[in-house]
A and B are shown apart, each in its own frame.
Chain A
Amino acid sequence: MPASDADREPTTPGMPPGSTSETLEANWRRTVDHSTRWPVIAFVSSSVFWLLIGSVLAIVASLKFNMPDWLVQQGWLTFGRIRPAHLNTVIYGWISMAGVGVGTWLWARLLKTRLRGRWMMMTSVALWNVGMLLGTIGILIGHSRAIEWVEMPYYAFAFIVPAMLLVVASFLLTLQQRRVKHLFISVWYLGASMLWGPFLVVAVLLPIYSGVPEATANWWYAHNILGLWITPAGLAAAYYFIPKVIGRPVYSYHLSYLGFWTLALFYNWAGVHHLVGGPAPQWVVTVSIVFSVMMIVPVVVVAVNHHMTVVGHFKKLKYSPTLRFVVFGAMSYTAVSLQGSLQSLRSWQEVTHFTHYTIAHSHLGVYAFASMIMFGAMYYIMPRVTNWEWDSPRLISIHFWTTGLGVGAYFTALTIGGVIQGLQMLDPSIDFLTIVDDTKPWLVVRSVAGSLMTIGHFVFAYLLYRIIAKSGERRDGPVYFHPAPAGLFGSSAGDGSSRQAPSMDADSEETQDSPGL
């Protein structure tokens, strides 16, 4: 640790003379939160915009399985374009921009310093949105590259890559000015993902691949965008918000280091498990299967850390929206990853690989894990950057139940339908069209579940609009699903509020920053 870091620690700027250390804490936190305000609002609202677009595309894609002659007259409406448009809007628009928005706020908070390079962030958001717009339209008008997870044409990435680099630059400038000794584990995850994300995108766009090697590069990329770009943002948020809201330090700080390094070392070798049984060289596939199974280590470590922190505090889930969404997400992370390790085995892949089962796994990951954590994080962050409270506990509750039940039904239906489909495909005496017929009921359930989720997204977008526009009555104190009993969330915990008296607002980040506590 450089001495300069330690030196900077006590000299918090804007220290009002004579204030207690608690009001001091509250004051710098307000300054820091305030510095992230416009970048966070811009990234969060853009991400939700793309979530809405992505959801509409998703519903159209899903309904096309139920009504294959619906919307077929024009090329831009064909399934093979709507579907990649769905993936790219939700991955590069929704979840990536949400991760940057949430990450930005966490970054400044955890480094206890103002966000630097705000103009870079604002330029980034603009470039990113232009890139997404071009990319989505590009796919729909027939410029899809049909390389899974990188369908958007080059001209879209020409905006998105610089946008990512601007975020990295702003993060680095802020890091230089940090006022903390310990880098909390969330900072590790976020910092590393800021390196991995742009590296991955640039690497996969290199025009050097073709044939089977292109497929291995493709899946090295796609798996890593999930594991080294989306997952770290989700885990960083979970590591922050679970202890924060509960008001209790992370269960084992040492374990969290182990979890980080094993993830960093194992995840990126696992990508070719997407090509089991295919024409890729056997050694690459085997390496990927081995590392997929080794992923059990970081996953269990993270699971222990997250779930053991929650144990004994389950009743707080009844009240806090942030906690409920984030814990839902953290549990899904454990589930999707253990499922992933098992399903990469050859005998499992033989059944499930080419079926709807995989689509269920996808949504358990990117939705039930990553998206739900992002929702939870936004419930915490937005009141702090807007100085306003959420409008309606009732609507938040609707948001939670539509998305939670929706993704639950989505996952269950496609998992069952997918396994049946996979087993039937192994039996050559079953005619292919019979197999197709047997998937149909499960695909209807998916459309219904997806409609529920989409309703939830529109409700959330409305809530977001209300809080950014500061509509409705000014509320005192944080919004809980039910009025929380006094003292349930200590002064240093809970969803907190944008407007609490400074002395009430004083939580000490130290509880989480220092491993000893």
Chain B
Amino acid sequence: MTRSLLIFLGAFAAISMSFTALALLPGLQLSTIEPTPGTDDYTFEEQRGREIYIRDGCLYCHTQQVRPDGFGADIQRGWGSRGSFPGDYVYDETHQLGTMRTGPDLHDIASRQPSRDWHLAHLYQPRSVSPGSVMPAYPYMFEVKSRSNVLPSDVTVPISPEYAPPEGKVVVAKEEALYLYDYLMTLRLEPLEENRDG
């Protein structure tokens, strides 16, 4: 056997084995997993919101994985009543586990902060509700309208005076912001009866 063939075969064997073990086997192992209680398939609106979360890269600053008790301080911080399990993600076609916490974990945000007004104001201008935050504002998900042009179906967003638009104008959420809110409200970790090991 020539040296180059040996290198080739060795290199190929190495990568194929780890591919099988790390990329394929976990899929098989978890293929029969049940969704955890409270984990449901996404509705149309929630899925749209999830696509916006993906499109605008919330993942680069927010994780969706609560660390288990005894590892880190997530539970003590109030980021969830339990650690995350694989069953929490069964409907996630594109995983959004994340690796960075420039902002807090969001896997249980719906329990922690259910208010729609808060979320919409936060998206429009994070510093209006979280002073000192470095999160970008998302004004393009909102429209600033004259109060007289507001339609009955419009969702207006109360903004603190410091960041509010000029007199006579109001902030109205576009569909994007509402869908995103709908998606965030799916992020909830229901407590489990027994403590299963993922």
Q: Which residues of A contact B (CB under 8 A)?
A: 1-2, 64-65, 68-69, 72-75, 78-81, 83-84, 142-148, 175, 183, 188, 191-192, 195-196, 199-200, 203-204, 208-218, 220-221, 224, 228, 261, 264-265, 268-269, 271-272, 274-275, 277-282, 284, 287-288, 346, 350, 353-356, 358-359, 425-428, 432-433, 436-437, 439-440, 443
A75 to B176, CA, bound (A): 11
Indicate if the CB atoms of B11 and A195 lie closer than 8 Å: yes
On chain B, the residues within 8 Å of A354 by CB distance are 63, 99-101
Is B60 at the interface (CB under 8 A from chain A)?
yes
A220 to B19, CA, bound (A): 7
Indicate if the CB atoms of A72 and B14 lie closer than 8 Å: no
How would you classify the secondary structure of chain B's contact residues: helix, strand, loop or mixed? loop
CB nearest to A61 among chain B residues: B60
On chain A, the residues within 8 Å of B99 by CB distance are 148, 274, 353-354, 358
**Contact pick for B140, options A73, A204, A282, A346, CB 8 Å:** A73
Indicate if the CB atoms of B77 and A269 lie closer than 8 Å: no
On chain B, the residues within 8 Å of A288 by CB distance are 22
CB nearest to B92 among chain A residues: A211
On chain A, the residues within 8 Å of B54 by CB distance are 144-146
A233 to B159, CA, bound (A): 53
**Contact pick for A203, options B23, B29, B71, B93, CB 8 Å:** B23
**Contact pick for B93, options A144, A188, A210, A215, CB 8 Å:** A210
Task: Report B101-152 residues with CB < 8 Å from chain A CB.
Answer: 101-104, 126-127, 130-140
Indicate if the CB atoms of B65 and A216 lie closer than 8 Å: no
Q: How big is chain B's contact interface, by range?
A: 35 or more
A360 to B102, CA, bound (A): 14
On chain B, the residues within 8 Å of A279 by CB distance are 65, 83-86, 88-89, 97, 198
B24 nearest CB across to chain A (Å): 8
CB nearest to A291 among chain B residues: B18
A73 to B136, CA, bound (A): 10
Of B14, B67, B127, B133, most A-chain CB atoms within 10 Å? B14
Indicate if the CB atoms of B134 and A440 lie closer than 8 Å: yes
On chain B, the residues within 8 Å of A220 by CB distance are 18-19, 22-23
Query: Contacts A269-B18, A279-B84, A427-B73 given: A211-B90 contact, CB under 8 Å?
Result: yes
A226 nearest CB across to chain B (Å): 14
Indicate if the CB atoms of B22 and A428 lie closer than 8 Å: no
Indicate if the CB atoms of A1 and B57 lie closer than 8 Å: no
**Contact pick for A277, options B10, B22, B71, CB 8 Å:** B71
A509 nearest CB across to chain B (Å): 17
Indicate if the CB atoms of A436 and B26 lie closer than 8 Å: no
Query: A65-B134, A145-B94, A188-B7 provided; 18 other pairs, C-beta below 8 A?
Result: A64-B134, A195-B12, A195-B15, A196-B15, A211-B92, A212-B30, A212-B86, A212-B95, A213-B26, A213-B29, A214-B95, A217-B27, A272-B22, A277-B67, A279-B97, A284-B26, A355-B100, A425-B77
B61 nearest CB across to chain A (Å): 8
Query: Contacts A216-B23, A436-B132 given: A428-B11 contact, CB under 8 Å?
Result: no
Indicate if the CB atoms of A78 and B27 lie closer than 8 Å: no
Which 7 pairs between the two chains have the least Cβ-Cβ distance? A80-B57, A354-B101, A213-B27, A217-B23, A428-B76, A268-B18, A211-B89
**What are 7 A-B residue pairs whose CB atoms fall within 8 Å in the complex?**
A64-B136, A65-B102, A211-B91, A216-B26, A269-B21, A271-B22, A274-B99
On chain B, the residues within 8 Å of A359 by CB distance are 100
Query: Contacts A65-B134, A195-B8 given: A211-B30 contact, CB under 8 Å?
Result: yes
A474 nearest CB across to chain B (Å): 41
